[in-house]
Structure 1
Amino acid sequence: MATVNRGAVVLQPAYFTSSVFVKALRDDITNLVHTFHEKYKEDNTKPFELFKTLWSAQGWKWMHFKVFDSRTRQTFLNVTVRLFLERMVKTEAPFVRTVVLFGLYTFFNTQPTGSAPALRGLSHIPIPIDQYASLIALPGTLTTPYLAPLQPFASYVVSALVDAQVFHLLPNSELGVLNPRDIPREIFVEEGLIDSNQPQRKGGHYSKRDKVIKARTALDAVGRWAERTPSPSAAKTTRTRYEAEKTRLVQEIGVGSAGEREASQGVVERLLEAHAGSDGDIEAWTGLARVQTASGSAGGMLRMLQ
């Protein structure tokens, strides 16, 4: 009897853009920065050597072996460098930005090569132009006595990355140029343990909780529509007010009076003057024939106030 091998379990790219991975990696980066800070206060004579020691001790050297599938690995690499870069914005302290720069540099330059089968690698680091400018200026901010030991190493790392043409420049970050625009894109919500005594929902059927959510959503939508739509009583009030204003206007002008006929004729003359010299057919203009007819009849233009 022939045997069939089980398929390999492969993480989907969505895992690495989800809150499960993004939150964990953000915490790991924060822990790396804090640990380096504590050790740096004790001895700052060899900062980059200290960083490499912590990098290995915390298991970062194994990061590249988390996933091997090419499609998923591409997302993993892009998200990882993006999470390093997000801690290098101007709002972060120069010390934090420097430690994260060391991490980005080390992660990018320790990608496995020569393995069999070959692992997919990251050839360029996408970075918005404003973040790139901030990165280039970072060494110049390390001028205080506490930060000065970091400056030569930060300068070397920045120069090495720029000379190797590692960065793929993108438009300003305010334009949302990265894909996905925001991370995490998928949010994992833990709903708690399943009660085995409760009947399980069949596929394609809504649970009571789902029905309540859908009902509330529909109710909110109806409420928003009702706020935008005037009520019948409001429409009736508007119509009544219009009729009253129309009656008052007719009484003041007077139907068939010289003032009414002069005003009607003036409207027609201004319309004809406005369209003088046009290549189009005046008779075809919408409403013009109706205006001319109304101006020459009893009641004039007031007849059009229906």
Structure 2
Amino acid sequence: MSTSAAPTVTRGEITLQPSYFTSSLYVLPLRHDISCLIHTFEEQYMQSDKSSPFALFKQIWSAFGWVWLHFKVFDGRSRERFIGVTLRLFAERMLENENAIARVVALFGMYTFFMTQPSTSLPPVHSLKHIAVPIDVFKSITAIPDALTETHHVPLRPYATHVLSQLLDGHAFHILPESSLRSQNPASLPREFFVRDDADPSAVSGEASDVAGPSVKPPTKKKGRPSKRDKAKKTKEAIGGLDKWLEKNTFTYAVPPTYESEEVPTAKTTHTLIAHPPVMTHSNYAVQKAELLDKLESSGPPESGRGPMARANEAVLTRLKRIDEMAAEKGLEVGGEGGDMTGLSRVAKAVEDLREGNSKGGILNLLEGAGFRIDGDTETG
């Protein structure tokens, strides 16, 4: 009775997890390498005398470094998934929709990779005894020799027949139900898609579909809270959009020299809205704001003498004083950092103006200069 693969690494040793070999980090590059192997063999085979195709395949196999592939991982669990996925990717190039030479090269690759699993190493490494293939894929594999009917394919037939007979005589195949029943684990490759922080998931899925075929579905966004990567991506996009907007709306103007100096005019930049303020928009805003403040002022109950605007101003001022006290307890400074133009003192002056009837909006008029004392005596509200 065979036992399942188990971890063989010691604590603290770094190893590739099994999920790596079912992800796009391994599946997509390996599919590309198999395509390069097939293309190179087909190119050199058509230019050769076609007398020893398997020797040509072994030469290309060694030149491309496939002989070192088994040394990629030694952990038992990871190695089982690594070998299974690699054999599966060779098997998918042996389907009937592939050209004859591609099917033969994939058969040679599966045979060579499966038969060269280390068996005499010390300590021993995990190896697979069988190649799991669905029954429809198995029928496509066994039909490869019969598909070599053209003149330049005939020299490949005895080699393909011999390699296939070696696998069949050794009971190398483990037959699974048809592919339409999703009998393989995982059902489709790649199962996990790696998406860089600076990449668009749709672009990655499109690239994966080009390599893996139309059956590969794009990665969908999971429900729930956004991840740190999503938040960072949205932040970068927002900052980039703001920079573009500021750059697009930047206005450059020349400052003339003063009479006392003979310096040349200097160029300064500012925002378009500052250089050319929207007068009509600001006027409409001021009219609508005045109407709103009049309605809020008249909506208060007559017995209290305080409308909703006054109550809101007092509540905000009380809250800001409480925050300032809490900051002072911790040795922080909040209310007076901005001087007279900002901070708690200016808010208090704006609320006082509202109490005395010098202002209708109180803190709502801070942008218009509420709470700011001019020339020591005059306050604007």
Q: Using structure 2 for the length normalisation, give the TM-score.
A: 0.50
Q: Which runs of 4+ in 1 moved over 2 A?
A: 204-213
Q: How does 1:166-205 map to 2 (within 5 A)?
A: 166-192=172-198
The answer as to 2:29 corresponding to 1:24 is yes
Q: Which residue of 2 aligns with 1:238?
A: none
Question: % of aligned pairs identical?
Answer: 48
1:184 maps to amino acid: P
Q: Which residue of 2 aligns with 1:35?
A: 40
Q: Which residue of 1 aligns with 2:80?
A: 74
Q: How does 1:1-306 map to 2 (within 5 A)?
A: 7-43=12-48, 44-192=50-198, 209-210=230-231
What CA distance in whole angstroms lies between the structure 2 residues aligned with 1:208 and 1:168?
42
Q: For residues 143-201 of structure 1, give each alpha carbon's deviation from its aligned partner in whole angstroms, at most 9, with x where no partner exists.
A: 110111100000001111001100000111111100001111110011239xxxxxxxx
What CA distance in whole angstroms lies between the structure 1 residues aligned with 2:231 and 2:43?
49
Q: 1:208 to 1:154 in 2, by over 3 A?
A: closer
Deviation at 1:211, TM superposition (A): 10
Deviation at 1:207, TM superposition (A): 5.0
Q: Which has the higher helix share?
A: 1
What CA distance in whole angstroms lies between the structure 2 residues aligned with 1:211 and 1:30?
37
1:183 maps to amino acid: L
| SS of 1:10 mapped into structure 2 | coil
What CA distance in whole angstroms lies between the structure 1 residues aligned with 2:131 and 2:228?
45
| SS of 2:151 mapped into structure 1 | coil
Q: Which residue of 1 aligns with 2:247?
A: none
Deviation at 1:206, TM superposition (A): 5.3
Q: 1:42 to 1:9 in 2, by over 3 A?
A: same
Q: For residues 7-28 of structure 1, give each alpha carbon's deviation from its aligned partner in whole angstroms, at most 9, with x where no partner exists.
A: 2111111110100100010000
| SS of 1:146 mapped into structure 2 | helix
Structure ranking higher on relative contact order (CA contacts 8 Å, 6+ apart)? 1
Q: Which structure has the larger Rg over C-alpha atoms?
A: 2
What CA distance in whole angstroms lies between the structure 1 residues aligned with 2:128 and 2:177?
20
Q: Which residue of 1 aligns with 2:250?
A: none
What CA distance in whole angstroms lies between the structure 2 residues aligned with 1:162 and 1:64?
23
Q: For residues 49-76 of structure 1, give each alpha carbon's deviation from its aligned partner in whole angstroms, at most 9, with x where no partner exists.
A: 0000110110000010000000110110
Q: 1:104 to 1:205 in 2, by over 3 A?
A: closer
Q: 1:211 to 1:122 in 2, by over 3 A?
A: same
Q: Using structure 1 for the length normalisation, give the TM-score.
A: 0.62
Q: 1:135 to 1:205 in 2, by over 3 A?
A: closer
| SS of 1:180 mapped into structure 2 | coil
| SS of 1:168 mapped into structure 2 | strand
Mind listing any 5+ residue stretches in structure 1 that lack a counterpart?
Answer: 194-203, 214-306
Contact 2:22–2:190 (CA<8 Å) still a contact in 1?
yes
Deviation at 1:90, TM superposition (A): 1.0
Q: 1:207 to 1:71 in 2, by over 3 A?
A: closer
2:119 maps to amino acid: T
Equivalent pairs, count:
199
Deviation at 1:45, TM superposition (A): 1.3
Tell me the C-alpha RMSD between the 2 structures.
2.2
Q: 1:210 to 1:111 in 2, by over 3 A?
A: same
What CA distance in whole angstroms lies between the structure 2 residues aligned with 1:84 and 1:210?
40
Q: Which residue of 2 aligns with 1:262?
A: none
What CA distance in whole angstroms lies between the structure 1 residues aligned with 2:69 and 2:37?
14
